[in-house]
Structure 1
Amino acid sequence: MSDYVPGLAGIPAAESSISFVDGEKGVLEYRGINVTELVKHSTFEEVCYLLLWGALPNQEELDIFTKELAERRDIEPEILKLAESMPRHGHPMNALQSLVSALGTLYPARDVESPRVQRETSLRLIAQLPTLIAFLHRRRQEEDFIRPQAELSTAENFLTMLRGSKPDPVEVKIFDAALILHADHTLNASTFTARVIGSTLSDGFSVIAGALGSLFGRLHGGANEAVLNMLDDMENEKEVRAKTEAMIAAKQKIMGVGHRVYQVKDPRAYLLQEMAENLFEKMGSSPLYERAKV
């Protein structure tokens, strides 16, 4: 009888050329390209193209891909009506999961082995998820929905729709980089969930809706929210240090500290910390950021 391995740690579950992680050396690559190079020299749209089709696009391919995304960013009235019927202050991840699933009713994609259906579903999800998230945020703030603009990039569109004003170019560059750094991470929990659902030949909208449910968890994507909640409960830098030292002494889990895969510092953290410092130096700091730095 085989030994039980919690969390399938170290157990190969799939082969993929999409991304690669070396947890001991702190390396993350997409299609053989280090993410540091992609952040420096590519845009989120180019990286999406790379992940989907295996190579960075030339200018003509990028122009076509960008145009296809722009044409699909807006939300159909049926989806808006459904979103408006949801509790205003319910958790946006619950709402987003439901809305992504509902997209499948508008854009049937059952022939999942068709390259045309695969491409269309991928384009639709990449284009509309930022719009849905921005809509849900503004509705929680009791603010009007701002529609996407065809001439803006994914990053600039999202920040504009989210806040209702034109973002600073530094903010756009940093958010674009953040999108790149979170675009893929081999077989993490939400990707594993997506692959299980996809293996049944379910449609792409159901696949991503299921993955969002996994991403929501506090031990996966929801860890970010848990960190913010923890910092919100601490009044100043002194309290942050005292409480975290007490948690370490008690061997309690500290959200946002450590990583299941990386035995050294997460390579994405170096880039994000540098960008955060540049952003707050230009735009001004915040108490939350000062507590986080401790």
Structure 2
Amino acid sequence: MGKAITSSQNSLTVRDNRTSKTYEIVIEDNSIPATAFKAISAAPEEGEREENETSKGLRVSDKGFLNTAVMRSQITYIDGEAGGTLLSGYPIEQLALHSTHLETAYLLIYGSLPTKSQLEVFQGEVMHHSVIHTEAEQFFRSFRYDAHPMAILTSAFAYLGSYYSEANPSLQGFYPILHSLFTKGSPESLAAMDKQIYRLIGKATTLAAMAYRVRQGRDFVTPPTGLSYTGSFLYQMDHLGQENYKPNPVLEKALDVLFLLHADHELNASATTVLQTGSSLVDPYSAIAAGCASLYGPLHGGANEAVIRMLISIGSPANVPAFIEAVKKREKVLSGFGHRFVIFSDPRSFIVRKTADEVFKVTGKDELLETAMALHEAAMNDEYFIKRKLAPNVDFWCVGLIYRAMGFPLDFFPVLFAVPRVVGWLAHWRQMMLQPGGVKIWRPRQIYIGSSKRAYVPIDDRIPINGQGPKPISHSG
């Protein structure tokens, strides 16, 4: 029998029924350290697999990070049940009303709203670093005419890192410097981080605009001076040689609001990918490219594109009832409702609806809006969706409709998600580089369920296993 332990109020008492031992695990910030379970070990049962490593302590199984905290963060807090989002403590709806994307970027990265002079420096550096080396034109022209813009953008972020050897810890000489380029917190280290942050935020719009224009068969546009972040982006995309051309200010402001709303959303799949990759101390350009690749997936960055395709497939409000029934029979997929983390209405969705109204005054109302409103009304009054807490998320309420009204092609929607999300990725990356105790490479455990140790079988003695192995495919040409 294990020694009795008096449990304090801020601890968890665990009794292992295999050994009758009791363990006390400290609770801090309503969390317990997974490594504490390594102390809970037992002798293997008779016939138990060695690979279970029972004598080495318990492992915590959590497929898909359903309830595992991997960081202590000061950046973003999302109340999934109440639907609130705080960026460094500020409600996102207040920031969307009073702030700008770059001002919010400063907040996320440095933890406080900037003074006027601080914002001028930050904006000036970001915009100064928006220009791309002329050799990049050849890189972009090397893609096929029908290459997906997210494939181009992902490649471009990685390509960008090849220009800045001083940003790559692997190229900094002997071992201590390799480890401390971004992690020591010295003035030199912080300045090196700032420079890469300026470059990545500044060049994100330029790379995206180049990915757009190469698909259109247009010449590339040098980033202009004197325009806002989103104004410069729209200029680079749409300028066709007109004298004194300036983007529509309503569309410029709308895009800035959408960029602000998409700048960060806590540890989503792409942010986690950036941290996983960055934990090896790779250069930030490679880490951002990895995040961009993660965002490319249809379960993440492709959601607002999926909403538009769904609305197009429905066609008109008259077809909504039949579509709803098909969804309930699992014959159709309902895009834009529900969220892995946000259970009830996303506060960003209300801001997006207001922004959509402003945009539609300029562009005209998208005919799909009536279909979207009919679908929203039907779903929100149907017991099937009410029971499952499937409320419309930010992707449903008009983000795609706004982008469509502004003339962006459907496959460019994920790019419009990636460009502002670079800010959030960099904020989390910087926080990890400067965290107390330094950076530890992320190396999750597994539960091995494969074959136990077995003897090698010569090829002539092997027996084929039904259903396993590669199958031949047809070849063209």
Shorter-chain TM-score tier: over 0.9
> Secondary structure in 2 aligned to 1:124?
helix
**Contact 2:209-2:236 at 8 Å conserved across structures:** yes
Q: 1:191 matched to which residue of 2?
A: 271
- After the TM superposition, which of the residue ranges 196-205 and 116-125 deviates more from structure 2? 116-125
Q: 1:142 matched to which residue of 2?
A: 217
Q: 1:76 matched to which residue of 2?
A: 133
Considering Cα pairs closer than 8 Å and 6+ residues apart, tell me whether 1 or 2 has the greater RCO: 1
The alignment of Structure 1 onto Structure 2 pairs a total of residues equal to 294
Please state how far the C-alpha of 1:158 moved relative to its aligned partner: 1.2
Which of 312, 321, 327 is 1:232 aligned to? Answer: 312
Q: Distance in 1 between matches of 2:65 and 2:255?
A: 33
Give the share of equivalent positions with the same residue, in percent.
36
Is 1:124 matched with 2:189? Answer: no
Q: Distance in 1 between matches of 2:369 and 2:146?
A: 25
Which residue identity lines up with residue 116 of structure 1 in the other structure? A
> Secondary structure in 2 aligned to 1:29?
strand
Q: 1:56 matched to which residue of 2?
A: 113
Q: 1:35 matched to which residue of 2?
A: 92
Is 1:213 matched with 2:293? Answer: yes
**Contact 2:80-2:342 at 8 Å conserved across structures:** yes
- After the TM superposition, which of the residue ranges 165-174 and 203-212 deviates more from structure 2? 165-174
Q: 1:152 matched to which residue of 2?
A: 227
Is 1:101 matched with 2:176? Answer: no
Deviation string 1:238-274 (CA, Å, 9 cap, x unpaired) is 2355324312332754222111111110111111012
Q: Distance in 1 between matches of 2:158 and 2:321?
A: 42
- After the TM superposition, which of the residue ranges 242-251 and 164-173 deviates more from structure 2? 242-251
Uncovered stretches (5+) of structure 1, i.e. residues with no partner: none
> Secondary structure in 2 aligned to 1:46?
helix
Q: Distance in 2 between matches of 1:241 and 1:158?
A: 40
Alpha-carbon distance change, 245 to 80 in structure 1, aligned in 2, over 3 angstroms: farther
TM-score, length basis structure 1 = 0.94
Uncovered stretches (5+) of structure 2, i.e. residues with no partner: 1-57, 170-180, 183-188, 240-244, 375-477
Q: 1:169 matched to which residue of 2?
A: 249
Q: Distance in 1 between matches of 2:153 and 2:68?
A: 32
**Contact 1:231-1:240 at 8 Å conserved across structures:** no
Q: Distance in 1 between matches of 2:97 and 2:322?
A: 37
Please state how far the C-alpha of 1:236 moved relative to its aligned partner: 2.6
Which residue identity lines up with residue 36 of structure 1 in the other structure? E
Please state how far the C-alpha of 1:282 moved relative to its aligned partner: 3.9
Please state how far the C-alpha of 1:18 moved relative to its aligned partner: 0.8
Q: Distance in 2 between matches of 1:132 and 1:157?
A: 12
Alpha-carbon distance change, 6 to 58 in structure 1, aligned in 2, over 3 angstroms: same
Deviation string 1:102-148 (CA, Å, 9 cap, x unpaired) is 11111221244122221111111100111111111122122222221
Which residue identity lines up with residue 124 of structure 2 in the other structure? K
> Secondary structure in 2 aligned to 1:105?
helix
> Secondary structure in 2 aligned to 1:233?
helix
Please state how far the C-alpha of 1:207 moved relative to its aligned partner: 0.5
- After the TM superposition, which of the residue ranges 118-127 and 107-116 deviates more from structure 2? 107-116
The structure whose residues are more often helix, as a share, is: 1
> Secondary structure in 2 aligned to 1:20?
strand
Higher gyration radius (CA) = 2
**Contact 1:74-1:128 at 8 Å conserved across structures:** yes
Which of 273, 277, 290 is 2:357 aligned to? Answer: 277
**Contact 2:140-2:214 at 8 Å conserved across structures:** no
Please state how far the C-alpha of 1:163 moved relative to its aligned partner: 2.1
Alpha-carbon distance change, 277 to 241 in structure 1, aligned in 2, over 3 angstroms: farther
Please state how far the C-alpha of 1:156 moved relative to its aligned partner: 0.9
Please state how far the C-alpha of 1:42 moved relative to its aligned partner: 1.0
Please state how far the C-alpha of 1:237 moved relative to its aligned partner: 3.0
Q: 1:110 matched to which residue of 2?
A: 168
**Contact 2:130-2:206 at 8 Å conserved across structures:** yes
Q: Distance in 2 between matches of 1:281 and 1:262?
A: 30
- After the TM superposition, which of the residue ranges 222-231 and 102-111 deviates more from structure 2? 222-231
- After the TM superposition, which of the residue ranges 271-280 and 199-208 deviates more from structure 2? 271-280
Q: Distance in 1 between matches of 2:325 and 2:301?
A: 24
Which residue identity lines up with residue 61 of structure 2 in the other structure? Y
- After the TM superposition, which of the residue ranges 118-127 and 140-149 deviates more from structure 2? 140-149
> Secondary structure in 1 aligned to 2:203?
helix
**Contact 1:43-1:177 at 8 Å conserved across structures:** yes
Q: Distance in 1 between matches of 2:86 and 2:136?
A: 36
Please state how far the C-alpha of 1:211 moved relative to its aligned partner: 0.3
Please state how far the C-alpha of 1:2 moved relative to its aligned partner: 5.1
> Secondary structure in 2 aligned to 1:8?
coil
**Contact 2:315-2:368 at 8 Å conserved across structures:** no
TM-score, length basis structure 2 = 0.59
Please state how far the C-alpha of 1:286 moved relative to its aligned partner: 2.0
Please state how far the C-alpha of 1:180 moved relative to its aligned partner: 0.7
